């Protein structure tokens, strides 16, 4: 399927995605007292990453994405995901 111009992030069901700067990411990691590899992952080929790449330019593996979701229990909730290699198929 051809790449469309549609921005998935504008869809109601897709939560906010933000690319974190390296410093921010480092700060958050030390705040949580964890290392990068303990974070949940997001594939580089994820539609949301592709949209972010249109804004920020290429996003390398190892960067951290901040996702702000609506939460039934907490109102809104932040999660952090580590960009990893895309696996096709």
Partner 1 sequence: MMRGVSKRIGSIRFAALSPEEIRRMSATKIITADTYDDDGFPIDMGLMDPHLGVIEPGLRCKTCGNKVDECPGHFGHIDLAMPVIHVGLVKEIKKLLQSTCRSCGRLLMTKEEAAEASKEMDAVDDLGGDYIDYRLMAKETAKGASKKEFCPHCGEPQEKITLDKPTTFRENGHKLTPKEVRERLERIPDEDLPPLGINPETCRPEWMVLTALAVPPVTVRPSITLESGDRSEDDLTHKLVDVLRINQRLRENRDAGAPQLIVEDLWELLQYHVTTYFDNQTSGIPPARHRSGRPLKTLVQRLKGKEGRFRSNLSGKRVNFSARTVISPDPMLSINEVGVPYEAARELTVPVHVTVSNIEALRQMILNGNEPELRDGKYVPGVNYIIRPDGRRVKITDRNAELVAEGLEPGYIVERHLMDKDVVLFNRQPSLHRMSMMAHTVRVMPGKTFRFNLCVCPPYNADFDGDEMNLHVLQSDEARAEAMILMRVQEHIMSPRFGGPIIGAIHDHITGTYMLTHQNPLFSKQEVLSILTNVHYGKPLPEPHLIDGKECWGGHELFSLILPDDLRMTFRASICQNCPTCKKEECEIDAFVKIRNGVLLQGTIDEKAIGSFKGRILDKITRDYGPDASREFLDNVTKIAIGAIMVKGFTTGIDDEDIPAEATAQITDALNVAIRKVSDLVEAYHEGILEQMPGRTLDETLEVEVMKVLGRARDEAGQIAGRHLGMHNSAVIMARSGARGSMLNLSQMAGCIGQQAVRGERLSRGYWNRTLPHFKKGDLGAEAKGFVKNSYKSGLTPTEFFFHSMGGREGLVDTAVRTSRSGYMQRRLISALEDLKLKQDGTVRNTADMIVQLHYGEDGIDPTRSVHGDAVDVDDILSEVLGDEADLLAKIGETKQIGYATVEKDLMETIEEEELEEPEYDMGGDD
Task: Note whether 45 binds partner 1 by CB under 8 A.
Answer: no
| H or E element, residue 56 | helix 47-56
Interface pick for partner 1 out of 11, 16, 61, 68 (rule CB under 8 A): 61
Task: Note whether 30 binds partner 1 by CB under 8 A.
Answer: no
Interface pick for partner 1 out of 37, 54, 57, 58 (rule CB under 8 A): 37
- DSSP characters for 4-50? PS--GGGSTTSPEEEEPPHHHHHHHHHHHT--GGGS-EEETT-HHHH
Nearest CA to 59 among 21, 16, 3, 89?
21
Interface pick for partner 1 out of 39, 42, 48, 64 (rule CB under 8 A): 39
Binding site for partner 1 (CB under 8 A): 32-34, 36-41, 61-62, 71, 73-74, 77-80, 82, 84-85, 87-89
């Amino acid at each position: 399927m051809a790449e469309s111009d549609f921005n998935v992030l504008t869809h109601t069901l897709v939560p906010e995605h933000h690319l974190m700067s390296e410093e921010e990411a480092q700060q958050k990691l030390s705040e949580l007292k964890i290392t990068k590899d303990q974070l949940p992952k997001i594939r580089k080929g994820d539609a949301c990453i592709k949209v972010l790449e249109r804004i920020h330019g290429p996003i390398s593996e190892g960067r951290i994405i901040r996702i702000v979701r609506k939460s039934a229990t907490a109102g809104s909730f932040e999660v952090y995901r580590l960009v990893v290699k895309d696996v096709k198929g």
